[in-house]
A and B are shown apart, each in its own frame.
Chain A
Amino acid sequence: MLEGERDLVKKSKDGEVEAFGLLYDYYLPKIYRFVLVKVGQREEAEDLTHQAFLKAWQNITKYEHKGYSFGSWLYKIARNTVYDHYRQTKAEFGIEDADNLGLLIMEEDVESEAEKKIALSKILEHLKILKEVEEDVLIMRFVNDMPIKEVAATLGKTEGAVKLIQNRALKNLKESISKEK
């Protein structure tokens, strides 16, 4: 959670663009990653992320701090934006898509670059096999490092339920990859 977040949110509600600008700078990478992993296309991810932040700015007066952070509220908006997008089209991942994500991980180990690309592309593909909520939990937990409590608040579930969903998601992902082999 961003330091002084509540104050920034209050100022944003009062119409201070600088305050919302700071919130945008802090949450943009997280929301963008979340959206990008879900849709798999950089351009689409940029468009949907922009839409999500625009909705947040236009409706920030509706946000009330009820035990979860402003980030959780942003994730909810992003999720809804992506779901609306999914109703129209279903993104599919391939190895080109993994390249298109602009990942920096490959530069660390040049020898296994191709192998890691394939592995990552498989993960991204198999994430699409999971249920939406399972995919959301894995992205929030392992891509954006969100604590279980915040994930639970974002998804409107209990912490125990989130743990169960996470375990089930990993198991399903593992089984899906094993079946392919």
Chain B
Amino acid sequence: MNEERIIGLISKLKAVSPDADFAAKSKKIILSSPRSASSLALNPRTVAARILDIGLSLALMTGLVIVVLSGVGLIFKGSDNGSQQQALNLSLTNEANAAIKDINVHLKDVQYFNAEATKTNAVLKAAAGATSTATSTGSASSPQTTPGQGVSTATSTTSSTVPSPLNNQNSNIDNLLNQAAQ
């Protein structure tokens, strides 16, 4: 018997097949049997999956607690914000009132200065009228310069001896200002 013959005979055993009844019964028994708890518990993947499962549950729970606490915190914080807002509004109102008072004071000052300016203007106009009268009188009585006299000499003489209309005008303005000040 050569090797090919041996292999051929061994290959005939391929025709062997399990009994169908045995196959069905065995399958049913195997699939209905519980898997050993030890193999499930000691399997690293199962253990890792369980740890991951527990970890995820804890993480979700922690997240939920944080969200709830944040919500409660926000509620309390909201009430605090209301009181703070009220205080801020009050301070702003007070500040605004103070500013209004300052503005009123400044407006009174402006009104006062306006009235004073009006009075001053009237006095100045009156003084200007008086000055123009005095000037016209003074120019008619002033001496004529003779030919040959120096212009500078004549001028200096006039300024020292003859009362100047400008000096009169200034004194009048001073008097009016004093009256206005009083």
Chain A residues within CB distance 8 Å of chain B? 13, 15, 17, 20-21, 24-25, 28-29, 32-33, 36-37, 42, 46, 49-50, 53-54, 57-62, 101-105, 116, 119-120, 123, 138-139, 142-145, 170-171, 173-174, 177-178
Chain B residues within CB distance 8 Å of chain A? 1-3, 6-7, 9-19, 22-23, 26-27, 29-31, 33, 35-36, 39-40, 43, 45-46
The reply to whether B33 and A54 form a contact with Cβ atoms under 8 Å apart is yes
How many inter-chain residue pairs (CB < 8 Å) link A and B?
109
- Among all A-B residue pairs, the 3 with the closest Cβ atoms: A61-B43, A32-B18, A104-B15
Residues of B within 8 A of A49 (CB): 18, 26
The reply to whether B12 and A120 form a contact with Cβ atoms under 8 Å apart is yes
A-B contact pairs, 26 of them (CB 8 A): A15-B35, A20-B30, A24-B31, A25-B27, A28-B23, A32-B17, A37-B13, A46-B18, A46-B22, A50-B29, A53-B26, A57-B35, A58-B35, A58-B36, A60-B35, A61-B46, A103-B16, A105-B12, A105-B15, A116-B12, A139-B10, A143-B14, A170-B3, A170-B6, A170-B7, A178-B1
The reply to whether B7 and A142 form a contact with Cβ atoms under 8 Å apart is yes
* Neighbour of A173 across the interface among B6, B18, B46, CB < 8 A: B6
The DSSP consensus for interface residues of chain A is: helix
The DSSP consensus for interface residues of chain B is: helix
A37 CA / B16 CA spacing, docked (Å) = 9
